[in-house]
Amino acid sequence: MKRKGILGLVMCLIAVLFWGGMFPIMTPALKIMDPFYFTLFRYGSVAIIFAILLLFIEGPKAFNPEGHFKKLWLLGTSAFAGFSFLVFLGQKIAGPSGSIIASVMMAIQPLLGVLVAWVWRKQKPTKFSLLSMIVAIIGVFMVVTKGHLSVLLSGNNTFLATILILLGALCWVIYTSGVPDFSGWSILRYTALTTIYGMISVSVIIAAATMLGWLKMPTMHAIQGVSGALVYMVLLAGVVAVFAWNFGNKIVGPINGILFMNLVPVTSFVITVIGGYHISAFELVGCLLVIIALIANNLYNRYKSNKKQVEAD
């Protein structure tokens, strides 16, 4: 049992390390290809891989949505169109600091999940969770502004980029919040079908934008230029990370697994610094505030859960 628990922790660690690395890796890639076509190539490949795995592991019957096509399509669109389009567009607009902002936003996703649960499932958050969100928001603003509040009022693209990334992070939270509605399904089936249906929206949006002249098809030179980033995003940050995360959380439980999200901005910070980016004191303190808020909220929820269990016994 102890070995199994260690395995679960290792799987969660693998997932967040790969996710933390994807934002710095995307910074140069976004200078070569727009985030929309990159999403098409990335999740188009991921959808094919998941479809093949689902076919061989669960068989053709697993592709039957069982009357849930609309919900699966909406959730898939939220994740694979909403998240990727908004987060990576925001990262591109933000420039060199985009990877830092994006990784910090990923760390506050558990707190965004509290808001989604409030609206979607009418689960009112505790006062402590609301306080944690306020602290996290302060941390985010410190990262975004680097101590210069004029950034928010000067028409700087950083503010727009932050809003886009925040909305993208919210899209992913909505996607993961839909998992309990498919409790009778395997994680592979849910992931595969939502990816496939989400790619329908991605393809339609990109086709329409290209015909209207808003987007241009990338050249072979551009595709070759981002080939390394695509391999990383498809295999490591895509297939491997998703499976490792779901597998690890199944063993250690979400309340333990979610703590590993703290490592996403840490990993991104380290890689970005190695790449030559100078991190300000405000960015570092802001990141620490977000991490502290997430850990504090997690520990409080753990305490409340244990207290309820003791009272029930």
Tens digit of pLDDT for each residue in 115-142? 887 887 777 878 888 888 888 888 888 8
Residue 287 to residues 136, 138, 262, 280: CA-CA distances in angstroms? 9, 10, 9, 11
Q: Which two tokens stand for residue 281?
A: 């004191």
Q: Dihedral of the CA atoms 118, 120, 123, 129 (nearest 10)?
A: -30
Under DSSP, the state recorded for 237 is I
**Is residue 97 over pLDDT 90?**
no
CA atoms 219, 220, 223, 224: torsion sign? negative
What is residue 3's predicted lDDT score, i.e. its pLDDT? 74
CB–CB of 180/56 below 8 Å?
no
Which are the contacts of 150, defined by CB distance < 8 A and separation ≥ 6? Answer: none
SS3 call for 60: helix
Report, as an integer, the average pLDDT of 151-156.
59
Q: What is the DSSP letter of 238?
A: I
Query: How many other C-beta atoms can be found within 10 angstroms of the C-beta atom of residue 166?
Result: 21
Return the amino acid letter for 15: A
Asked whether the predicted pLDDT for residue 308 surpasses 80, the reply is no
Mean pLDDT throughout 97-103?
A: 81
pLDDT in tens, 241-298: 877 887 787 777 666 666 777 777 778 878 887 877 777 888 888 888 888 888 888 7
104 CB-contact burial (10 Å; exposed 0-12 / middle 13-18 / buried 19+): buried
Measure the N-to-C terminal CA separation of the chain; round to a whole number of Å: 24
Q: What confidence score (pLDDT) does residue 1 get?
A: 52
Q: Give the pLDDT of residue 249.
A: 74
Range of weakest confidence among 31-45, 91-105, 188-202: 91-105
| pLDDT of 90 higher than 80 | yes
pLDDT confidence band for 56 (50 / 70 / 90): very high
Q: Specify the pLDDT at position 124.
A: 81
* Burial grade of 49 (CB within 10 A; 0-12, 13-18, 19 or more): middle
Give residue-wise pLDDT tens across range 171-186.
Answer: 988 887 787 788 788 8
pTM over 0.85, yes/no? no
Inter-CA distances, 142 with 48, 72, 261, Å: 40, 37, 19
Contact 105, 140 (CB under 8 A): yes
CA distance 37 to 202: 9
Q: Give the C-alpha distances (Å, rounded to integers) separating 38 from 13, 31, 175, 236, 238.
A: 26, 11, 20, 16, 13
Q: Assign 78 a pLDDT band (cuts: 50, 70, 90).
A: very high
- CA–CA distance, 52 with 299 (Å, rounded to integer): 40
Quote the DSSP letter at residue 151.
Answer: G
